[in-house]
Every structure is written in structure tokens, then in C-alpha cells.
Amino acid sequence: MKARLILSDGTVFEGCSFGAKKLVIGEVVFNTGMTGYQEVLTDPSYFGQLVCMTYPIQGNYGVNDIDCESHQPWVSGFIVREWCHQPSNWRCQRSLDLYLSDNGITGIAGIDTRRLTRILRERGVMVGAIVPGNDTDIDAYREQMAAFAIVNAVPAVSCNQTIVYPAEGEILFKVALLDYGRKQNIVRSLTRRGCEVTQLPASTEAKDILSGGYDGIMLSNGPGDPAENTQIIAQLKTLMQSGMPIFGICLGHQLLALAAGAKTEKLKYGHRGANHPVKDLRLDRTFITSQNHGYAVVFDSVTPDMGQVTHVNLNDNTVEGIKYKDLPIFSVQYHPEACPGPADNAYLFDQFIDLMKGGNR
């Protein structure tokens, strides 16, 4: 079946439909990872987005039940150059096409993803529509695209009840994980270090967290505009004043900065992929990182009274990490838990463990 990708600037790509066969509208973004499409699909940070993979072939190793980063795919649509009809891998349980179809995710293949990526890099991310079938009335979707916006993203992806994940072996620490759209490997990274992880809804109040007997607080990744989450930011102000160790990742990093008085801004086309260079200024070392975000903390809004920028993106010099002054709190914009991506940055979880032990305060 034919399909079209229509961008809000009027650009049209013609391809073929795979996965679910239904109209879908979302924010079109691109990811530069060469592998890890299953982890991308199931990352809640992609809520409301049509994700274009720049690597030309997707689905060649199929899909399994182990590599999911959450209980369902969250992308609105999937855009690829070519999808593999016959995957080959000993862990494969189903094809990418069948997985998308079963979960109601619309896909489009056969388009020039390199051209699409160049358009997004030059003009910035924009709203688009994937239209399966032979419908040629492009103007019919302009009004819908103009009205589209990603709102209330965190409540849409957060859990609605408490979930406890046991530590691997002896319980060394108890960690409260605030679920703004968390990836499963954040949980695994903590439990393998002896942490009992209690996953809490994003709306959990600070007083309930502080009375829960936890040794530390983990703030997860998640989708949407961070500044929209005013109630969460208000609760984080209280948590930051408590003296409890806090580690924020991605959206958690942005929310901490807003709670401390910094500002955030939307990037032209964001950072999405597993190959972004970030320098740890304290270690004077550069790491290759996995990233997925469309917003960043404004560099000049991080004042000396607030804390210090500890990590910077070497592509565009944006803020990638903050250590808060006189507080056992730090955060990073990228994903140290990776999946997909390099495991070079797992040392940050060890730093969080050290904070809960009472070190480096």
C-alpha cells in the first residue's frame, strides 16, 4: 500500500505503508543510531513524535520481548528508508512490521530519509502526517497539523501506581524513582548496584517521598516541554531543600534546573542518537553518549550561586550536566543507562551510590 509523509511546510514524501495502516500526526524528529530501533520505539520520551531513523535499514534483527525499555511502544509513527521483511537473529520473536501492526503504530518506508534529515536540520523539527493509501488531498491535513501540539506528555506516560523492584542481592540502599517516562535500564542500573527501587508516579508529592524511608531520589527521563510541568517543579523545590541525594537524567535534569531557577529552551532539531560527544569538565574526558531530547537548559541561566555546569555537548556547547552548589544533587542531559548506546557513562550511577553513602557532599 502506498503512503505519504506530509510536512507542515508542504514538503511531501511518497513511500509505502507498513505496520498499522492509519493516519497519524506528530512532531517529526530524527535519530542517528545505527542499532536499537526497538529501544527507540519503546522509549516514552518519543511520545507524540514521528521518528525518522537515519540508518537506512531497520528491522533486520527483528523484535523480542527482552529489549523493550517500557511495556509498549510510544512513538506515534516510524519513518525508515527500508524495513527488513525477513529478519535474522537467534533472539528474534517477530518482525518489525508485525510488532508495529500489533501495537497500532503507523510506519512509512521507501522515502529518502537523508533528504528528510537535511530538511529537519536546516528548518528545524516540524509537525508532519503519515497518510496511508492513495489520498492526494494534502490540504485536508494542513489544519490538523497546524493544531497539533504535544501537551500533558508526562501524565500520559507515567505509571499510575507504586511499583517496587528488588535489589540484586543484598539491599544496600532504597531509591525512590520518580517516573516521568522512565526507561527500564535505569531500574536495572540501580538494582544491580544493590538498590531496591520504588517507582513512583510523576505526581507524587514531596512530603510522601521524604517520609518514605528512602536513601536517594532518582528523576527519570521523559517527553515534552519541561516548563509545562509546573506542579512537578514545585515539588522538586522542596526535595532539593531536603538534603537527600538526587540524580536526574534527561527530563529529570531539566526539571531540576527549572526548580533551581534556571531556564530551558527548545533546540532547533534536538539530540537523538547513540553517538553524541560530551565532555566531563571535571574529569577532562570526552565520552560518546546516547541522547534523546528536544529541549536543553540555557547555559547562561546556570549561575555560580546555583551550581556549576559539569558536562557540555561538543557539537553545539549545550549544557549536558549540572552539579548543584552545597547539595548532594547532580544531573545529566544524556542517558548514562544507554539502551541503545555505549555503556561508557555508567560511572554516573556509581557517583550516585557514593552520594548515598555520604561521600562527595
Helix (H, G, I), strand (E, B) or coil at 348: helix
Helices (H), the chain: 37-41, 96-102, 113-123, 142-147, 153-157, 184-191, 206-210, 230-240, 251-260, 347-357
Q: Please give the torsion angle defined by the CA atoms of residues 349, 63, 21 and 119, in that order, rounded to the nearest 10 degrees.
A: 50
- Residue 337 annotated in active site: yes
Identify which of 213, 163, 212, 161 has the alpha carbon closest to the alpha carbon of residue 184.
Answer: 163
Give phi and psi for 4, each to the nearest 5: -130, 145
Catalytic, out of 196, 250, 311, 339: 250
Buried b (16+ CB within 10 A) or exposed e, 290-319: bbbbbbbbeeebbeeeebeebbbbeeeebb
HEC letters along 112-170? CHHHHHHHHHHHCCEEEEEEECCCCCHHHHHHHHHHCCCCCHHHHHCCCCCEEECCCCC
- Residue 170 annotated in active site: no
Give phi and psi for 115, each to the nearest 5: -65, -45
Distance CA 272, CA 310 (A): 21
Catalytic, out of 39, 69, 196, 337: 337
Distance CA 29, CA 55 (A): 14
Catalytic, out of 276, 293, 311, 335: 335
Cis before 340 (ω within 30): yes
Task: Note the pLDDT of residue 240.
Answer: 97
> Would you say 69 and 183 are in contact if contact means Cβ atoms under 8 Å apart?
yes
Task: Note the pLDDT of residue 124.
Answer: 96
The structural domains of the chain, ordered by start, are 2-150 (3.50.30.20), 154-357 (3.40.50.880)
Gyration radius (Cα) of the chain, Å: 20
Task: Note the pLDDT of residue 339.
Answer: 78
Q: Give the number of other CB atoms < 10 A from CB of residue 339.
A: 23
- Residue 143 annotated in active site: no
Per-residue pLDDT of the chain (361 residues; tens, 9 = 90+): 999 999 999 999 999 999 999 999 999 999 999 999 999 999 999 999 999 999 999 999 999 999 999 999 999 999 999 999 999 999 999 999 999 999 999 999 999 999 999 999 999 999 999 999 877 677 788 889 999 999 999 999 999 999 999 999 999 999 999 999 999 999 999 999 999 999 999 999 999 999 999 999 999 999 999 999 999 999 999 999 999 999 999 999 999 999 999 999 999 999 999 999 999 999 999 999 999 999 999 999 999 999 999 999 999 999 999 999 999 999 999 999 987 778 889 999 999 999 999 855 4
